[in-house]
């Protein structure tokens, strides 16, 4: 089955923001995006960049055009590609990612691991589920998680787990069993494979669920810690359910919102009795940590 690539050229900053939006705000999202320098002869390199977005199925070009127009992008080129796993192909060679103690890598970079004392290595190979650690939301969550000291929550949920990077990190850091859930069945299957690949398959229960709507999730509540790396709209909508399923003094790590959406999401959680206790600064994709009071 063919796949599709949409491409734009221009200045780096708007292309970078548009690439983030295509994987985070569009539905169905782009399977992968890549940003590369195209023409070094352009003065200062300001307009010398190319954004490629890959889709497994024919994208809704009208929805894509409307989304990227917010970043000043026009007239993207569409190309039908041969039957190749372009999602995996575009992610190959992204390199090792370090987020404090956490070191993420693909099988192709196994020989490049730093192997420093205290490192927690997580192998995530290129696939169809969001979360290789290269996106600022995932990397930001891991960086904020690295700040935790001796406190270890007893009950943990990774809500909207994608490839289960955060669930794997928590299982290795805290040596706890936990639940990883996602609305997408493919992501749940990949999450299960990744947990086994990282030696924590017996610690992570991977479930297909929309929000908290699953018997295993309901019976495991209240949770001491919840990861929610999804999108701003669902994050705000989930605030009442989050309050109902998080224990008193429990923590919730929120990501996937853009900086201009931060006030709306924070207000939704404060109305439900949460108080912000930490924030990871990132120009576009902040990460927030709340405690239930």
Binding-site residue ranges: 138, 160, 182, 229
DSSP string of 173-240?
A: HH---EEEEES-HHHHHHHHHHHHHTT-TTTEEEEE-BTTBSHHHHHHPSEEEEEEES-HHHHHHTHH
Q: How far, in Å, CA of 241 to CA of 260, rounded?
A: 24
Q: How far, in Å, CA of 168 to CA of 56, rounded?
A: 27
Q: Residue 212: CB partners within 8 Å, gap ≥ 6? A: 159, 218, 221, 238, 241, 244, 245
Task: Give yes or no for a contact between 133 and 167, defined as CB atoms under 8 angstroms apart.
Answer: no
DSSP 112: G
Q: Which helix (H) or strand (E) holds 90?
A: helix 86-91
Task: Give yes or no for a contact between 206 and 180, defined as CB atoms under 8 angstroms apart.
Answer: yes
Annotated binding site for S-adenosyl-L-methionine: 138, 160, 182, 229
Q: Which helix (H) or strand (E) holds 35?
A: strand 32-37
Q: Taking CA 71 as the corner, what is the angle to CA 68 and CA 72, rounded to the nearest 5 degrees?
A: 95
DSSP 135: S
Supply 272's token pair: 């439900």
Q: How far, in Å, CA of 118 to CA of 116, rounded?
A: 6
Q: How far, in Å, CA of 148 to CA of 173, rounded?
A: 9
């Amino acid at each position: 089955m063919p796949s599709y690539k949409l491409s734009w050229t221009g200045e780096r900053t708007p292309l970078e923001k548009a690439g983030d939006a295509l994987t985070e705000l569009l539905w169905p999202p782009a399977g992968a995006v890549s940003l590369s320098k195209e023409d070094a002869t352009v003065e200062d390199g300001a307009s010398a960049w190319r954004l490629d977005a890959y889709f497994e199925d024919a994208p809704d070009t009208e929805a894509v055009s409307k989304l990227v127009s917010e970043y000043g992008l026009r007239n993207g080129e569409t190309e039908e590609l041969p039957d190749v796993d372009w999602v995996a192909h575009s992610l190959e060679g992204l390199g090792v990612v370090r987020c404090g103690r956490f070191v993420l890598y693909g099988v192709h970079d196994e020989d490049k691991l730093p192997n420093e004392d205290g490192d927690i290595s997580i192998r995530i190979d290129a696939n169809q589920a969001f979360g290789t650690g290269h996106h600022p939301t995932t990397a930001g969550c891991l960086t904020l998680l690295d700040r935790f000291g001796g406190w270890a929550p007893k009950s943990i949920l990774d809500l909207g787990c994608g490839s289960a990077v955060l669930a794997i990190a928590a299982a290795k850091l805290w040596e706890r069993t936990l639940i990883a859930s996602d609305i997408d069945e493919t992501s749940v299957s990949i999450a299960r494979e990744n947990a086994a690949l990282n030696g924590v398959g017996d610690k992570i229960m991977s479930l297909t669920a929309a929000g908290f709507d699953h018997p295993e999730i309901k019976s495991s509540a209240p949770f001491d810690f919840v990861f929610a790396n999804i999108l701003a709209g669902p994050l705000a909508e989930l605030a009442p359910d989050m309050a109902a399923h998080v224990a008193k003094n429990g923590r919730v790590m929120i990501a996937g919102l853009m900086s201009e959406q931060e006030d709306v999401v924070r207000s939704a959680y404060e109305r439900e009795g949460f108080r912000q206790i930490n924030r990871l600064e990132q120009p576009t994709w902040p990460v927030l940590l709340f405690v239930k009071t």
